[in-house]
Amino acid sequence: MIKLKRLFLLLLVLLLLLALALVANTLRQGSRQLEAVPARPLAVDRDRVVQTMAAAVRARTVSGETPVPGVEAEFDALHALLRQRYPRVHAELQREVVGTHSLLFTWKGSDAAQPPVALMAHQDVVPVAPATEPMWQQPPFAGVVEGGFVWGRGTLDNKSNLVTQLQALEMLLEAGVKPRRTIYFVYGHDEEIGGRQGVVQIVKRLQQRGVRLAWVLDEGLAVTHGIMPGIDRPVALIGLAEKGSVSLKLAASAPPGHSSMPPGRGQGAVARLAAALVRLDAQPLPGGIQGAAAEMFEAIAPEMPFGQRLALSNLWLTRPLVERMLARGTATNAMLRTTTAMTLLSAGVKENVLPGRAEAVINFRILPGDTIEWVRAQVQRIVADEGIEVTLHGEGFGPSRLATSRADSFRLVEGAVRQVFADAVVAPGLMLAASDARHFDGISDASYRFMPIRFERADLGRVHGTDERIAVDQLVDMVRFYHRLLTLASGSTEAP
């Protein structure tokens, strides 16, 4: 009995020490937020940015896998609009057209020792889904301004970045700013279909000139509210990387025949393929809190309620539990691992004929650190059936290189965010979709992905969806952000 009491006391002491260690470690994790010193008031011409945004929407610069009739004239109209609205940009910067309609502007710096940087956006937009135009509150290409919003395709993805960057630049040129650092402005025309004829060609041109960039900033994550669990404040996420993408085709074959005489259990093409799909669905690819996700949780943990803060500050003990909880949410799960999405399925030609072949296409969004070859090997391991063919479906691409939130370049972007969105928690993150920024991995030290837009949960479905729109106040904040970022990046003592 005495020994049991001593053992109990020992366990109690150990648990108390463990609890003290957890609490102490949690309290040591102080806020990593830069001091929020709001930028000086900036007079933005609201009418100019709103009317330019609306006119840009009316240019139907739609990208499709097959050529869109008349789209060349739409790009020409957009370029004419930009020349009209931003005359100083076109007069004082070097302007190059690359490919058919991609644009490269060079704002030449005075100090060649300063490594150049680049700001990015894209001119093209996705099509409106067939038969959905009547569902829009405003026609998708009318550029209607109503209710405090500019409505239409491209307002969020991604003409707002294009317009507000150029307006901020025009304002700096009007103020007589001369940058010490060279700044490029890169505007692709085919981002929505991979960027091969646009930004890929711009990168090749810069590479031929021996250009090495300190960093690039492209579209990406945003200032979200009500999306990050456990935080009541807005959270501004700056993407350190983006996931890759590959689709694999799984196929099973079996002798065709009449449905009146089906094969044994699991022997038909459909049954064999179905069993493989069930195994893949039941076994997600390996993952965990690492890379961009780890840096994100390090940054936001001190801003969370104590219970969540304790769990995230002591991953050496709580990692399995935290990862299981994160895996339950679709967005948080996607930050942890290469995801598996079954998207296409085909078999058979008639209801009374046993199909001789069944096929499925599965799309994988590849986590930085994983590769296409690794994904294929994992699929073959999980399927565990040599009779299932596993082949590439179309062209895939790997994840981008992972930047770091500890670099001076990240701090510069973070500083601009904090000055304009002073109420937001700023943290690194992982972009789940693809952008043109990945094409710069070979000539840039870091690529960041951030849009200075406030997103509520309800706004997420508007990107590539119905009723895409942007608030007028958002456009003004975007101009303020890019004006501040360009001021900081230019290194000019003349900058206001």
Which residues belong to the active site?
Answer: 124, 191
CA distances from 371 to 244, 251, 365, 368, 409 (A): 8, 22, 10, 8, 27
Q: Do 388 and 269 form a contact (C-beta atoms < 8 A)? A: no
Cα 234 to the center of its chain, rounded Å: 18
Query: Cis omega (within 30 of 0) on the bond before 25?
Result: no
Query: At residue 455, what are phi and psi to the nearest 5 degrees?
Result: -115, 130
- With the CA atoms of 21, 27, 28 and 31 taken in that order, what torsion angle do they form, in degrees rounded to the nearest 10? 150
CA distances from 93 to 109, 116, 204, 440 (A): 11, 15, 20, 22
| Helix 472-490 and helix 46-58, axial crossing angle in degrees, nearest 10 | 100
What type of residue sits at position 233? Answer: R
Nearest to 476 by CA among 43, 88, 176, 84: 43
SS3 10: helix
d(CA 78, CA 60): 9
Instruction: Give the long-range contacts of residues 276-281, CB within 8 A, separation 24 or more.
Output: 276/250, 276/252, 276/383, 276/385, 276/388, 277/250, 277/342, 277/360, 279/382, 279/383, 279/384, 280/340, 280/342, 280/362, 280/379, 280/382, 280/383, 281/340, 281/342
- CB under 8 Å to 265, separation ≥6 — which residues? 271
**Using H for helix, E for strand and C for coil, what is the string for 131-180?**
CCHHHCCCCCCCCCEECCEEECCCCCCCHHHHHHHHHHHHHHHHCCCCCC
Q: Which residues are 366's β-sheet partners?
A: 244
- CA-atom Rg of the chain in angstroms: 26
